[in-house]
């Protein structure tokens, strides 16, 4: 990223006359003397700045390394937010608007309506500003900038002129915590468990089957995090999609060339790993979800998956019975976990370092259990009948 940041700061200053950094879609591992791209669609997509920022904020969420955040992460997060602070302009309606804001990899049509307040740009701006606010609060820095960022958030225009859905409580929290590329996150609800459920709808006509696999992640991740992916119903179709596009060595083709062959695209095709991981573990809303979208008739286990809050999580299930969950606390953060067991029997959390039972209570499936953890301690979570 250092090369993107180097030329990105120059672009923000020299071409936009703004603070911060502007990140482009394409780049090269060189220190550039001037913008080597500068044209649409690859060079002037304003949402890429927020998309790049996410990686820095996520790294902190998964490690809780405050020293890294102060020295490496926050300077980039702040610069991305600063660009958006200046990029948004207040209109006669009293709202902040984003222009020019083309989305996808589209160019400019000549009609300003086609690239004003586009949804993809506005969503990344909001997520970027929220993340910058949280990062500055973690470090107790930049109160003045935080006020500017909150002002933009409080008075930002709607996406494509369409009002945002009215949400509150946990629904609002989940929608705001979920990054834009992964849709609108929903609060946790236990999956339907019925191996006789058959797939509904005809996935075969999806454009993912035709010429471009690269955005499969963006098709399925919103379904997984939004709760509309029912594993016993949909996993088979997802598996067929993988089988269609994979090489014999397991690498996924990126694109089809008409009907005569395929070509590779590493970065986007490797993103298919994310849905598979998130079928087994999610933590994006601050609480662990164990096997939230995995077929009940398949046994599975995972070991040391990293979760937000700086946890290493392992779990095993035998068909529809979850045998255990192990959580290692790397930073001593509070632990929040949705009860993954399929009955309201007691959930027991035991500290394996000192043998102490930290919590034991009756908790319905899908309800949150919370404990405080100690750095370096490992906790086993089991169902006690």
Rounded Cα–Cα distance for residues 193 and 195 (Å): 7
pLDDT of residue 197: 58
Q: b/e for 101-111, b at 16 or more Cβ within 10 A?
A: bbbeeeeeeee
pLDDT of residue 264: 58
HEC assignment per residue over 32-87: CCCCCCCCCCCCCCCHHHHHHHHHHHHHHHHHCCHHHHHHHHHHHHHHHHHHHHHH
pLDDT of residue 268: 66
Mean pLDDT by 10 residues, the chain (385 residues): 96 96 92 90 89 96 98 98 97 94 85 92 96 98 97 94 81 91 87 61 57 69 89 84 78 62 62 88 96 92 97 94 95 95 85 95 90 97 88
pLDDT of residue 214: 62
Which residue, among 357, 356, 309, 316, has the nearest Cα to 337 in the 3D structure? Answer: 309
User: Strand 378-384 and strand 346-351: pairing?
Assistant: antiparallel
Are the beta carbons of 227 and 285 closer than 8 angstroms?
Answer: no
pLDDT of residue 122: 95
pLDDT of residue 88: 97
Q: What is the distance in angstroms between the CA of the first residue and the CA of the last residue of the chain?
A: 51
Are the beta carbons of 68 and 60 closer than 8 angstroms?
Answer: yes
Radius of gyration for the chain, computed over Cα atoms and rounded to the nearest angstrom: 22
DSSP-assigned letters across all residues of 265-330: -HHHHGGGHHHHHHHHEE-TTSSBEESTT--TTS-EEEEEEEETTTEEEEEEEETTEEEEEEEEES
Q: What is the pLDDT of residues 55-90, one digit of tens each?
A: 999 999 999 999 999 999 999 999 999 999 999 999
pLDDT of residue 53: 97
Residue 16 is classified by DSSP as I
Q: Phi then psi for 309, rounded to 5 degrees?
A: 100, 0
Q: Which domains does the chain have, with CATH numbers?
A: 2-164 (1.50.10.10), 182-297 (no CATH), 299-384 (2.60.40.1180)
pTM for the model: 0.91
């Amino acid at each position: 990223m250092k090369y993107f940041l180097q030329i990105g700061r120059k672009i923000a200053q020299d071409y936009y006359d703004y603070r911060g950094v502007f990140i482009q879609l394409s780049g090269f591992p060189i220190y550039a003397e001037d913008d080597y791209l500068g044209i649409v669609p690859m060079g002037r997509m304003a949402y890429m700045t927020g998309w790049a920022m996410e990686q820095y904020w996520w790294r902190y969420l998964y490690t809780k390394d405050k020293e890294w955040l102060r020295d490496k992460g926050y300077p980039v997060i702040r610069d991305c937010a600063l660009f958006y602070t200046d990029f948004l302009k207040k209109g006669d309606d009293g709202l902040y608007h984003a222009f020019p804001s083309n989305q996808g990899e589209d160019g400019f049509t000549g009609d300003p309506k086609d690239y004003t307040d586009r949804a993809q740009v506005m969503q990344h701006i909001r997520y970027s500003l929220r993340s910058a606010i949280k990062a500055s609060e973690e470090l107790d820095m930049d109160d003045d900038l935080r006020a500017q960022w909150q002002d933009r958030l409080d008075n930002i225009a709607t996406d494509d002129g369409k009002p945002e859905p009215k949400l509150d409580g946990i629904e609002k929290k989940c929608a705001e915590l979920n990054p834009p590329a992964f849709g609108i996150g929903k609060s946790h609800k236990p999956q339907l468990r019925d191996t006789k459920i058959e797939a509904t709808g005809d996935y075969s006509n999806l454009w993912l089957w035709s010429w471009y696999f690269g955005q499969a992640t963006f098709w399925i991740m919103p379904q997984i995090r939004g709760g509309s992916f029912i594993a016993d119903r949909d996993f088979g179709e997802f598996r067929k999609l993988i089988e269609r596009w994979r090489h014999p060595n397991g690498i996924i083709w990126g694109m089809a060339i008409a009907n005569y062959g395929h070509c590779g695209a590493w970065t986007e095709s490797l993103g298919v790993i994310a849905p598979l991981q998130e079928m087994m573990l999610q933590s994006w809303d601050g609480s662990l979800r164990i096997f939230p979208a995995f077929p009940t008739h398949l046994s599975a286990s995972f070991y040391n998956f990293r979760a937000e809050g700086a946890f290493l999580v392992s779990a095993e299930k035998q068909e529809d019975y979850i045998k255990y969950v192990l959580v290692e606390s790397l930073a001593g953060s509070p632990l929040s976990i949705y009860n993954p067991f399929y009955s309201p029997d007691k959930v027991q959390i035991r500290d394996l370092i000192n043998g102490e039972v930290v919590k034991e209570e009756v908790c319905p499936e899908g309800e949150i259990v919370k404990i405080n953890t100690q750095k370096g301690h490992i906790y086993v979570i089991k169902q006690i009948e």
